[in-house]
Amino acid sequence: MVAASFWTLFRQFFPPASKWSFADMPDLTGKVAIVTGGNVGIGKETCKQLLIKGCTVWLAARSQSKAEKAIAELKEETGKEALFLELDLSDLKAVKESAEKFKSLSPTLHMLICNAGVMAPPIEQLTAQGHDLTFGVNVLGHFLFIQKLLPLLKTTSNSLTDTRIVWVASSGQYYFHNLPINYDNLKDTPSRTKLGVQDLYTQSKFITVMLGIYMGKILAEDQDSNVICIHLDPGNIKSDLYRRLPSLLVTIMEWLVLKPTAMGAITQLFAATAPEASQYNGKYLRPWARLGEPHPLTKDETEQKKMWDYCIAVVKGYE
């Protein structure tokens, strides 16, 4: 059962042309951004456009060699050099160390773009702390990274200029149906194995939306700082994300619905940089750079708080 109308899904697969383009991005000289998973795909394109606009870009990746290759290619394309930040989202200890290293190197942070993600890794793969890998990378690792960097985002903001957390979800959240969330499925249990890798992906994106909405509420209540959080679906985009799907299916998808990689950066760059996006704290954006409506059950406040408290408890000790 899909929790979205035919029209919502049709618009997701065939969105109208974007009214916003990279050319609309403001000058970002003096601004600092982190892009997780910046070495490839949508993240790399996001780094490229930020560099073109003069932003200081920290390309966060788990592999130094892949990051260095991407940084060299981006320099070739833009003339600007991104900085490498080592970040393995599948290990909370490594996430803590990465955030602390960043804070020791940069006194400001204007944009935290939580873009990295995995889809359908082998079911036996878990995080260093024993969580489902997809939940661990897409949700928990980013959750801790955000918590660790929030104080810096707060001090960088002021009453005139907000700082932003952009958390990349997916239209996959519409397809998650195993509700209410069974917390056993976040750990290595038989019920998680039964759920299967595709549902574990849609579950992780459903949770991202829940937490994105909840975080927006918490941030809105904080009168002393000006940080906003936007979550979004980047669109159906050609990338390595689909590498574990059957190649014939990927070929058909590329032919029917997948758009060029660069288009995947539109919605997240709009969220991170457009002055008009400052009104979208706690909101879900759909492609391309438009306000969207997430799965209705992501809005359940009791479930949001339960998940928030669960994540806070899990990352305790790494803060």
Ligand X SMILES: NC(=O)c1ccc[n+]([C@@H]2O[C@H](COP(=O)([O-])OP(=O)(O)OC[C@H]3O[C@@H](n4cnc5c(N)ncnc54)[C@H](OP(=O)(O)O)[C@@H]3O)[C@@H](O)[C@H]2O)c1
Active site residues per annotation? 201, 205
Residue 199 interacts with ligand X (CB under 6 A): yes or no: no
- Inter-helix orientation angle 142-156/197-221, to 10°: 20
Nearer to ligand X among residue 138 and residue 226 (C-beta) = 138
Q: Which residue, 188 or 306, is less far from ligand X as judged by CB?
A: 188
Residue (138 or 273) nearer to ligand X, CB = 138
Q: Which listed residue (49, 90, 185, 226) binds ligand X by CB under 6 A?
A: 90
Contact at 8 Å (CB) between 222 and 163? no
- Binding residue (CB under 6 A) for ligand X from 11, 66, 217, 306: 66
Region of 13-21, 109-117, 156-164, 217-225 interacting with ligand X (CB under 6 A): 109-117
Beta strands in the chain (DSSP E): 32-36, 56-61, 83-86, 111-114, 163-168, 227-232, 284-286, 290-292
Nearer to ligand X, 28 or 40 (CB): 40
Which of these ranges, 33-41, 148-156, 270-278, 289-297, lies near ligand X under the rule CB under 6 A? 33-41
Residues 6+ apart with CB under 8 A from 202: 170, 172, 173, 175, 176
Q: Which of 237, 277, 289, 314 binds ligand X (CB under 6 A)?
A: 237
| Separation between Cα atoms, residue 240 and residue 27, nearest integer Å | 30
Interface with ligand X (CB under 6 A): 37, 39-43, 61-63, 66, 87-90, 115-119, 137, 168, 170, 233-234, 236-237, 239-241, 264
